[in-house]
Structure 1
Amino acid sequence: MVRQERRAHAPLLDPALLRTPGIRGGLAGALCGYLVLFGPLVLVPVLLLGSGHGVLVAGTVLTALPAGFALGAVGGDRALPAAVTDRARCLYGSALSACALAALLLLAPRPAPLACALGVLGLGLFAPANNALVMRAVPAAAPGTGGGLINMARGLGTAIGVALVTLALHAGGDGGRLAVLLLLGAAVAMAATATGLGGGSSGCAPGSAERE
């Protein structure tokens, strides 16, 4: 498949796009970000049910995750100064994620602490800025390809996040702690990719950047 795309006159995906640092790093960040976002959807109910809480409590605690995401995505632009770049937003968001996950290692599996950690996970700040940077690095003639790559990274991150947490929980011993450590590693990887992202380059105009 890769060989055919390299030889094709009009490839579905130009392999050269993936060699562009801003695109490659941004897609890696998106994958790690959605891994961190969806992994807790498996982990938190298991922790709460294992500590004696009911399904209703677990579901209520989980609502803090999308609520925090929405608040960060909508309120991030208003809360931060206009001079803050998308790269800085990625760094802030990944730092929040790492801090929240590190806190989970220390907190008891109780509803209130877990809800607070999920609410400040930082993905609502990271994901829109990271997606905008990827779209800005994509050539102006290929915005659809850029959007498709982000969607692919989102799907892979979701699947890998669920799979890794599930494997950790079935690994024996303190599977919950191992799962949190895996998610924390992904958050650190998010920060690493954010440090290498540029603040802007040729490609889609800022107005066309995808900011989910």
Structure 2
Amino acid sequence: MKPALAGREDHPATGDGQHTHPARRALAALSLSMLLSSLGTSIANVALPSLAKAFNASFQDVQWVVLAYLLAVTTLIVSAGRLGDLLGRRRLLLAGIGAFTAASALCGLAPTLPLLIAARTAQGLAAAVMMALTTASVGPAVAKDRTGSAMGLLGTMSAVGTGLGPSLGGLLISASTWRAVFLACVPLGALALVLARRHLPADRPDRRDRRATAARPRFDPAGTALLALTLAAYALAMTLGRGRFGPLNLALLGAAAAGAGLFLLTETRVGSPLLRPAMLRTPGLGAGLAMSGLVSTVMMATLVVGPFHLAGALGLPAALVGLAMSAGPLVTAFTAVPAGRLVDRLGARRVTFAGLVAMAAAATVLAAVPAALGVAGYLVPLVVLTIGYALFQTANNTAVMADVDPGRRGVVSGLLNLSRNLGLVTGASVMGAVFALGAATADVTAAPPAAVASGTRTTFAVAAVLIGGALALGSGTRTPSRRRFREPRGAGFPLGG
């Protein structure tokens, strides 16, 4: 039986622009999918001490419980999006939710650390599918004039999942054991699977895309493998050594650079590539991805610097540090949906610039504000920065996905999520190094308050420069036309200009 919302892909809801009940239920399924994949990113961190004790392992060993998930998501999110384009986004999203649920159960039942890491890898692979195809499925699920609101809701779920993870994990561990951290995702995954199966619109492949690819291979194994290895090398270079670059980090960066070049060369020569380089020259797409990466780098800086500044420079106890750090996710959660409504009303371009300007102003204030202003002097501009981020992310996601051909929504959604993940990975390493450099010490935990405050100012000065770069990218981008990027009809060569 066809789902109730199996209408045309470009006009899935009623012509009056209102959400139908099936559309709301489909959006609920997508929201829960986004919540689960984001929760998986952050919920395991708080369990690392318990895992080290339970398995009698070192911190370096148990941190792979977190790294395995992160690496799996980062390396395969674009490939997952492309597979959704080829096999059907609804079909693959259902498989991803089911696999995530099963992998969560395996994590909770794992008898040894290697099996837990393997299960977390499987969970990350499923999360890559969920992250890529959740955003890509918004277009078929809601009316076009409600896309911004839907993107805002998904942004809220992402923020709630990321912010809720540590506190929920702590509560579960205190009430039970570390296994509860992973088993708690099982009933949520089952609910998401039921909702998605019942209410997501049926896959309706674009006929033009079908004709264009009928005579060519439908998947690009060489490009997929090259991109996965390239992204894995980069992610490892950024995460190993905790921001201290040694020979191994440099070798991995060199491998990532070589892999990127080889990947782009390969993609211009295969008949049905994973990613056509010409796509990145589509008006708005390349700039949108670059801006997303820069902004995510800045947001990770707040998570890296915040705890040290609040404890080291302002002298807050641990409990109050945790409370203050929750301000960011809370603000994002309450701002993203109104931001989506602003996008629907004012347009994505205006809201994108408003968000970036707010972020640039807040970062500039944080770079200049003295520690003598206390907690309020840090939290007020941080709240403005977070509001700007919510505005930017919702508007940018809407703009990037607006004119994508139906046959490429999955891969572009994967690229959008990848740019965010790479920004977070880069921010954790690079902005952490900038913070240590500004504090003029290798051990920030032992630095005096004045040194920590100096490191904070330096970090946000760099952050303001990065946001300025994002504004420059946005200013140099023409407003996207309604013309979509389409597959070339002839041989497997990318489109020009």
Deviation digits for residues 43-89 of structure 1, max 9, x if unmatched?
111111212222222221111111222222112245x4854110000
Distance in 1 of aligned mates of 2:478 and 2:392: 12
Name which of 309, 323, 346 aligns with 1:60: 323
Larger Rg: 2
**Offset, 1:200:** 5.0
TM-score where L is the length of structure 1: 0.87
Question: How far has the Cα of 1:21 moved from its partner?
Answer: 3.0
Distance 1:72 1:187 in 2: 20
The worse-fitting range, judged by mean Cα deviation, of 110-119 and 138-147 is 110-119
Residue aligning to 1:184: 464
Asked if residue 101 in structure 1 is aligned to residue 363 in structure 2, the reply is yes
Cα separation, 1, equivalents of 2:436 and 2:369 = 21
- Alpha-carbon shift at residue 175 of structure 1 (Å): 2.3
In 1: Cα distance, 2:363 partner to 2:292 partner: 17
- Give the match's secondary structure for 1:114: helix
2-structure distance, mates of 1:103, 1:148: 34
Aligned length in residues: 203
Aligned partner of 2:414 among 148, 153, 157: 148
Contact 2:284 2:480 (C-alpha < 8 Å) held by counterparts: no
Deviation per CA, 1:117-146: give whole Å up to 9, x if none: 222211110001101111124333200111
* d(CA) in 2 for partners of 1:26, 1:94: 12
- Who is 1:111 aligned against? 375
Distance (Å, rounded) in 1 between the aligned partners of 2:378 and 2:424: 20
Q: Which residue of 2 aligns with 1:157?
A: 423
Q: Tell me which residue corresponds to 1:139.
A: 405
1:49 paired with 2:340, answer no
Hey, what's the Cα distance between the residues in 1 that align with 2:346 and 2:361? 21
Distance 1:120 1:200 in 2: 31
Partners of 2:474 and 2:325 lie apart in 1 by: 27
Aligned structure 1 segments of 4 or more residues deviating by more than 6 angstroms: none
Show the counterpart of 2:479: 198
In structure 2, the gaps of 5 or more residues are 1-262, 441-450, 486-497
| Stretch moving more, 111-120 or 140-149 | 111-120
Q: 1:86 to 1:148 in 2, by over 3 A?
A: same
CA distance in 1, matches of 2:478, 2:393: 13
How far did 1:199 drift?
Answer: 5.3
- Cα distance between partner residues in 1 of 2:267 and 2:305: 39
For structure 1, list consecutive stretches of 5 or more residues without a partner in the other structure: 205-212
Relative to structure 1, the CA distance from residue 165 to residue 81 in structure 2 (aligned partners, 3 Å threshold; closer, same or farther) is closer
Cα separation, 1, equivalents of 2:482 and 2:318: 47
CA contact (8 A) 2:305 2:456 kept: yes
Q: Which amino acid aligns with 1:130?
A: N
Q: Which residue number in structure 2 is paired with residue 31 of structure 1?
A: 293
**In 2, Cα distance between the equivalents of 1:131 and 1:82?**
13
Counterparts of 1:167 and 1:28, CA distance in 2:
21
- State the 1:203 CA deviation: 3.6
Q: 1:156/1:82 Cα in 2 relative to 1: closer, same or farther (>3 Å)?
A: closer
Q: 1:77 to 1:10 in 2, by over 3 A?
A: closer
Question: Are residues 12 and 81 of structure 1, via their aligned partners in 2, closer, same or farther at CA, if it must alter by over 3 Å?
Answer: closer
Q: Distance in 2 between matches of 1:137 and 1:22?
A: 10
Task: Name the CA shift for 1:189/1:68 in 2 (closer, same or farther; >3 Å).
Answer: farther
CA 11–68 in structure 1, closer or farther in 2 if over 3 Å, else same:
same
Cα shift at 1:154: 0.6
8 A Cα contact 1:164 1:179, kept in partner: no
CA distance in 1 between counterparts of 2:317 and 2:433 reads: 23
Question: What is the CA–CA distance in structure 2 between the aligned matches of 1:183 and 1:72, rounded to whole Å?
Answer: 22
Q: Please tell me the root mean square deviation across aligned C-alpha atoms, in Å.
A: 2.0
Cα distance in 2 for partners of 1:65, 1:193 equals 26
Highest relative contact order (Cα 8 Å, sep 6+), 1 or 2? 1
1:90-142 deviation digits (Å, cap 9, x = unpaired): 00000110111111123234322222222221111000110111112433320
State whether structure 2 residue 288 is matched by structure 1 residue 40. Answer: no
Contact 1:61 1:114 in 2 (8 A): no
Out of 76, 79, 92, the position equivalent to 2:339 is 76
